[in-house]
Structure 1
């Protein structure tokens, strides 16, 4: 299949998937289902983008491995979010609903279609990586597999640690800073971004015969911008500051927002009495 036709079909499919997500949210009142549908739909679209071969060619080992890994990522994340959404509303969407008021439904539809467009960028990056003409499954490919494995496992561990923290009634009103959450305020976002960092490695061709492979860099660049600057960390941290106040501000001072690293020690400000 030609790249142009594949991109067109993926665009239509993703638009339909996010229209379904809009319908599910409107009918159920559970906005978190939008992210669940996005995760599964994006994983499926990227798996298709990976496995569909060029005209006159058969799928390669690289394409099959990429499709399996991306489908695994989408299913794990989507099912986790769906389970969480069934028990409460996403605070980021709740705030948007408050801001949009009577225009909530139409604004939400447009918002989710923008998410479909973001998924299409990811799928195009997958196409660029999967159609690497290098015949062998080489070192760069194995590095990519290791990156995805670490990313999926890390995101799953972070999700379990947060769920266990919230399930303990002694932690009510507290900020989760245990395990991976003591190294990053958003380890789940970090590992979600890390998944897409595998694509440039799958796209790498030492011979220089795959210039289209540079398009694969768009996926980690886009996901970093969305998670760190737009729809991930900023609205979630605004919610946490409203709900946790001083405790979350202290957490912000100790722990990096995105990149994992050792926590910083608490600093105490000593007030001096003015000179007489």
Structure 2
């Protein structure tokens, strides 16, 4: 068991070291986000399905959880790869390079190693859900499937709405406030967090027979902290304030940052077409 946990962390570290090298060679560190998504998915699938000592063939729950992880990983990785291909450096990484100056190369390496730790924790949460020993598939398993399906679809819709807005907007200073973006300034981040709520639902045993399942809560807690307080909303909103100014400040005053809420009065103009 401990060897398997160690293997997950080592595997994540090696993959993110490769992501750092690709970023240095291409000048586009945004590829690391696509690679990270694949890393979490592959590690999660492996941790869910690989047999432990004296363990029988994978259970229906293990197959279900592995499929959930693979579907999320593939969708997100393809989206990020298409967004990254042929474009300039991601503004978040560009700002880090500017801030870190001559130390940027190696500080990015360790930054990606921190992402490797996050990837490993998420993969282990997937494994904890998959290996819940409760017999058969329960209502909580189907609820977890419904939650992650809604989250993947919601995130894909938000990403598509933002992409279409960027394509159609004639003003470089416009703020996307269409569709789901009228109810949250970062609906894609909200749905990304919701993905990780699915695994504790599957890992939870109401009868108390699977104490390890509680550790799966580390996934949504960690993702919320990262998205809302560390590497998600703060640097992105700082970039938007620099590039959109008062238009984005007005958007901040009307719309919740993360949790969906009632839409404010929409301003007139291109941002709502």
- Range with greater deviation from structure 2 (49-58 or 252-261): 49-58
The residue aligned with 2:195 is 195
Report if aligned partners of 1:253, 1:266 keep a CA contact under 8 Å in 2: no
What does residue range 1-276 of structure 1 map to in structure 2 within 5 Å? 3-57=1-55, 58-86=57-85, 87-265=87-265
SS in 1 for 2:128: helix
Q: Distance in 2 between matches of 1:81 and 1:138?
A: 34
CA drift of 1:50 comes to 1.4
**TM score, norm. by length of structure 2:** 0.94
- Range with greater deviation from structure 2 (47-56 or 133-142): 47-56
- Supply the RMSD in Å over aligned alpha carbons: 1.3
Q: Distance in 2 between matches of 1:215 and 1:206?
A: 14
Aligned residues: 265
Structure 1 runs of 4+ aligned residues shifted over 6 Å read none
CA drift of 1:265 comes to 4.0
- Range with greater deviation from structure 2 (163-172 or 70-79): 163-172
Give the number of the structure whose alpha-carbon radius of gyration is greater: 1
1:122-169: CA deviation from partner (whole Å, max 9, x where unpaired): 122122211111011010000000011001101111110000000014
The residue aligned with 1:272 is none
Report if aligned partners of 1:165, 1:171 keep a CA contact under 8 Å in 2: no
CA drift of 1:104 comes to 1.0
CA drift of 1:41 comes to 0.9
SS in 2 for 1:117: helix
Q: Distance in 2 between matches of 1:213 and 1:171?
A: 49
Q: Distance in 2 between matches of 1:258 and 1:161?
A: 17
SS in 1 for 2:199: helix
CA drift of 1:197 comes to 0.2
Q: Distance in 2 between matches of 1:173 and 1:88?
A: 18
CA drift of 1:171 comes to 4.3
Report if aligned partners of 2:173, 2:247 keep a CA contact under 8 Å in 1: no
1:96-122: CA deviation from partner (whole Å, max 9, x where unpaired): 000111111100000000000011111
CA drift of 1:54 comes to 3.2
CA drift of 1:5 comes to 1.5
1:160-210: CA deviation from partner (whole Å, max 9, x where unpaired): 000000001424320000001111100111111111000111112222110
The residue aligned with 2:270 is none
Q: Distance in 2 between matches of 1:88 and 1:263?
A: 33
